[in-house]
Structure 1
Amino acid sequence: MAATETNTGNQNPTQDPRSMYYIHPSENPAVSLVSKKFNGENYQDWKRGMILALSMKNKMAFIDGSLQKPADTDPLFSAWSRCNNMIISYILRSLDNTLAKSFIFFSTAYEIWKDLEDRYSVIFGPQIYSLQQLLNQIDQGSSTITEFFTRIKGIWDQDERLIQFLMKLEPKHAGVRTNILMMNPLHSMSVAYNLLIQDERQKKITEGVTRQSSSMAFAAAEERRGGSSRAYPLSVRAPLFCDHCKLNNHTVDKCWKLHGYPDKGGYNKNKGKRVVAVAYV
C-alpha cells in the first residue's frame, strides 16, 4: 500500500484527525499502553490490549504492514517517521525492560511487531500440554459463573472448549448444562454463558424466597408458643410452696406439720391441743 492518503481538499494529513498521520497533542509515548507489561508470558492478552489502544489512535497500519515506509523524498516521510517513532516508543514502553532491550535497534514498528508475532504467537506442544494440565485442575468451586468464566476464558483464548467449561460446573447447574448439550448444533460460548447466568440468578431468587418462607414459618411458630404461654398468668403456673416445711404443693396456712395431720374421720385432734397450749402460754 502506498504511503499517501486520500484527504479532503488540500488539508495537511498531520492536521486531519481522520488521518493515520495525525498525532494528538496529548499523546505521551513515555507511558505504557497496557496495564501489565509483556514479559514473555500471556502474549495473546498483551497483544489484544495493544491492538485496542493502537486502533483507537488510528495507528494499526504502522504495525500490520498495510502502510509501507515512504521514500526519503516523499512529502509524507517526515509525518510517517514521527508516527513510526511514536509507536516504537509505545511498544517498547509496554514491554518488560529486559525484553525491550532486544528491540531497541529495530527501525520500524512493523519489524518489532512481526518479530514479537514470530516469537510468541505460535503455541508449541509443551505450551498446549501445560494449558491442558491447567484446564484439568480448574473447577468452579465456590466461584460464581462470572468469576469462573473470567478465570478460565484466558486459557480458552488459546484453546477454547465449551465442553470443558460445562464439565467443570457445579452439580446445581446440571439441568441447564443438559439443555445446552442437547442442542444441535451446540450453542456458542456467549449463548451458553448467558443461559448459565440466568440459571444462577434464578437459583439465587429461589433460595432467597425459601429462606424468607422458613423465617416466617419459624416466627409464626414462636408466636403461637408465646401466645399460649401468655394465656395463663405466671402466678397461676408457679407451684405452691410452704415457708415452714420448705415443701411444695401447699402453703404455710395448710401445712400439716404446723397445724397437725387430719385423722381418718377428718377431725384434727392435734389442732385442738395446739390451740389450748397456745392459749395458756
Structure 2
Amino acid sequence: MAGDEETKSKASPSQRTPEPWENSNHPLFLHHLDQPDAVLVSQPLMEDNYTTWVQSMGMALTIKNKKGFIDGTIKRPTDNHDEQQQWDRCNTLVKTWLLGAMSKEISGSVIHCKDARSMWLELQERFSHTNTVQLFHTENTIHDCQTVNRVQTQSYHSSQN
C-alpha cells in the first residue's frame, strides 16, 4: 500500500503544468474558432463610418477577450519567451481581424503597423477628428438648400396673392 501512495504522489514525466493562456479566460487564450478570416463586424471600415465601426469592433474584441491588444492594457511580455510567442500570435490575429474589417484602401495604408495597438491608434488619428473642410462644405450645402427652399416658398406665396 505504501508503494501505491508513493507512485500516486510522483508526477509522470509526461504531465506538465498548463500555461496560464490555456485557460479560456486568459487574454492570450486562442480558441480553435479564432481564425484570421473570422468576420467580427458587419460593415467594413470606410471613410465615413469610423464612429460606428470603432464601437462595433471594440465590442467584438471585448467578446473575444482581445480588446487589451488595441487599448494597450495587454502589453508584450518581456521575460518569458513562450509567453512572448503567444502574445505575438494573438497580436497578429487581432491585426488580421482589424485588416479584414477595413476597405482595401484603408487596410493597405495601415498594414505596416508593428502591432494591433499602433494600427488602432493610426486609425483613430486619421478618422476620429472632424474634417473641418468637409464639415464647412456640408454646412454650406445645407444652408444653400434652406435658402433655395425659402425663396421657392416665398415665390409660391407671392404667386398665390
Q: Provide the TM-score with structure 2 as the length reference.
A: 0.70
Q: Does 1:52 align with 2:59?
A: yes
* 3-state SS of paired residue (2:71): coil
- How far is the alpha carbon of 1:41 from its aligned partner? 1.4
Partner of 1:91: 98
Counterpart-to-counterpart distance in 1, 2:137 and 2:34: 40
Alignment correspondent of 2:5? none
For the pair shown, the structure with the greater C-alpha radius of gyration is 1
Shift of 1:16: 0.6
CA gap 1:32/1:127 in 2 versus in 1, 3 angstroms? farther
> Distance between the aligned counterparts of 2:68 and 2:131, measured in 1?
29
CA RMSD of aligned residues (A): 2.3
Q: Give me the identity figure in percent.
A: 27
Q: Which runs of 5+ in 1 are unaligned?
A: 1-9, 138-281
Q: Which residue in 2 is equivalent to 1:100?
A: 107
Report the CA distance shift for 1:42/1:135 in structure 2 as closer, same or farther (over 3 A): farther
In structure 2, list runs of 5 or more residues that go unmatched: 1-16, 146-161
Structure 1 residue 31: Cα displacement: 3.2
Aligned equivalent of 2:84: 77
The answer to whether structure 1 residue 43 and structure 2 residue 50 are counterparts is yes
Q: Deviations over 1:228-247 (max 9, x none)?
A: xxxxxxxxxxxxxxxxxxxx
The alpha-carbon deviation at position 63 of structure 1 amounts to 0.6
Q: Deviations over 1:47-76 (max 9, x none)?
A: 111001000001111011122222375431
- Residue 134 of structure 1 and its aligned partner are, at CA, apart by 8.3
Classify 1:21/1:42 alpha carbon distance in 2 versus 1 (closer, same or farther; 3 Å). Answer: same
Asked if 1:20 is matched to 2:27, the reply is yes
**Secondary structure of the structure 2 residue equivalent to 1:88:** helix
Q: Are positions 1:126 and 2:133 aligned together?
A: yes
Counterpart residue identity of residue 116, structure 1: L
TM-score, normalised via structure 1 length: 0.41
For 2:31 and 2:107, the matched residues in 1 are separated by: 25
Q: Of the two structures, which has the highest relative contact order with CA contacts closer than 8 Å and spacing of 6 or more?
A: 2
Q: Report the count of equivalent residues.
A: 128
Aligned letter for 2:75?
Answer: Q
